Amino acid sequence: MKTDNRPGRHRAPGGYSPLGELKSIARESAQPAMKGAAVVAAAGGLVATLTAPASAETMSGASAAAPVAAPKVAAPKAAAAVGPDAALAPAVAAAPALSSIGYASTTTKAPTAKPIVIKDVVVEKKREEAAQKAREAAEARRAAAERASRSATRATLTSSTYSPKATVNGSSGQKSAYNWATAGQCTWGALNKWYQSEGYYPGGWTGNAMAWGYGAANAGYTVSSTPRTRSIVVMQPGVHGSSSVGHVAWVTAVNGNEITMIEMNALAGPYNYNTRTVTHVGGMQYIYAP
C-alpha cells in the first residue's frame, strides 16, 4: 500500500468545510472565554489551510493551481483568557469576534463592608459614673423631702398642742416602749398622738377607755378635770357619743370650755382619724403629758 505523504491537512475531497468547523467549535465550547480562544485557534488553522505552499500537490493530482489569497485576520492584541481574569475581561468583551458568538461580560459589585463601631471604654465609664451620681442625688433629695415632711408634721402637732412641759405633780409617770393598745381603736390612736408629740408612749395601766383616768393616776400621771392641750381626754360612756366602754382622744387646742381633739375610730371609723370640737362637760377627765 502506498503511503500518502502529501503535505497539508489530509481529508477526503468534499469532507472538510472550514466554516462548518468554526460553527461546531463555537457551539461545543462551554465558557465564553473558551469560545474566544477556540475561534482564534480555528482562524489560525483556516489560514494555514487556505495558504498552502505553491509546491503542494492538488487533491486531484493535476498541475498546481494558482495560489489562493488568505483572508486577513486581525491578530488579537492580548492572549485569549481562559480563566476569570478580571484584568483581561474588558478586552475580551470588546472583541467583535467574541460578541458575534454571544459572549457578554458580567461585572460583579464588591460587597459593601458594614461599619464597625468601637466603643470608648473611658467615655462609657464616665457616663455610667455620671448616671450613678445623678441617681444618688435624686435619692438624697427624696430622703431630704421626706425628712422635711416629717418635721413639718411634728412641728404642726407640737405648735398646736404646745405648752411648757412642767411637771405638775412632781412626777413624769411610767413609760412604755411600744403602743400597747389595740390597733385601729381610739385608745391606740390617742397613744400614737402622745408619742408623736412627746417622743415616747405612756404606760403602767391597761383597760377600756373609761378606766384610763384611774389607771394613769396610779401610773404617776396627773389627771384633772380642767382642759389642757398636750393631754388625753377621757370620756365616760354616752358623753359626746362615746360607746359603752368610753372614749379617749388627743387634745390639740382649748378655747374656754371648748376643746378641739383628734380621735380615731369615731366619725371616720377604725384606723382613721378625724378632728372634732366639743364642749367640756361632766364625765370628762384629762391625762396631762409632763
Q: How many domains would you assign to the chain?
A: 2
Q: Specify whether 197 is located in the same domain as 281.
A: yes
- Establish if 33 belongs to a structural domain: yes
Q: What are the grid coordinates assigned to 67, written together? A: 495560489
- Establish if 154 belongs to a structural domain: no
Instruction: Check if the beta carbon of residue 289 is closer than 8 Å to that of residue 198.
Output: yes
pLDDT score, position 146: 80
Q: Specify whether 96 is located in the same domain as 200.
A: no
- For residue 288, the cross-strand partners are 231
Q: Specify whether 88 is located in the same domain as 181.
A: no
pLDDT score, position 100: 60
- Establish if 157 belongs to a structural domain: no
Query: Which domain does 246 fall in, by range?
Result: 175-288
- Establish if 242 belongs to a structural domain: yes
The number of angstroms, rounded, from the C-alpha of 106 to the middle of its chain's C-alpha atoms is: 46
Interhelix angle for 186-198 vs 121-161, to 10°? 110
Single out the residue in 60, 80, 100 at which a domain terminates.
Answer: 100
CA distance 154 to 271: 20
Identify which of 209, 221, 219, 220 has the alpha carbon closest to the alpha carbon of residue 284: 209
pLDDT score, position 289: 94
Identify which of 270, 76, 253 has the alpha carbon closest to the alpha carbon of residue 183: 270
Find the CATH number of the domain harbouring 244. 3.90.1720.10
Q: Specify whether 184 is located in the same domain as 277.
A: yes
- Establish if 206 belongs to a structural domain: yes
Instruction: Check if the beta carbon of residue 71 is closer than 8 Å to that of residue 5.
Output: no
pTM above 0.75, yes or no: no
pLDDT score, position 165: 43
| Tens-digit pLDDT string for the chain (290 aa) | 555 555 555 555 555 666 676 677 666 655 555 555 555 555 555 444 544 444 444 444 444 444 555 555 555 555 444 455 545 444 444 455 555 666 555 556 666 777 777 778 888 888 899 999 999 999 888 888 887 776 666 555 544 444 444 444 334 799 999 999 999 999 999 999 999 999 999 999 999 999 999 999 999 999 999 999 999 999 999 999 999 999 999 999 999 999 999 999 999 999 999 999 999 999 999 999 98
- Establish if 264 belongs to a structural domain: yes
- Establish if 64 belongs to a structural domain: no
- Establish if 134 belongs to a structural domain: no
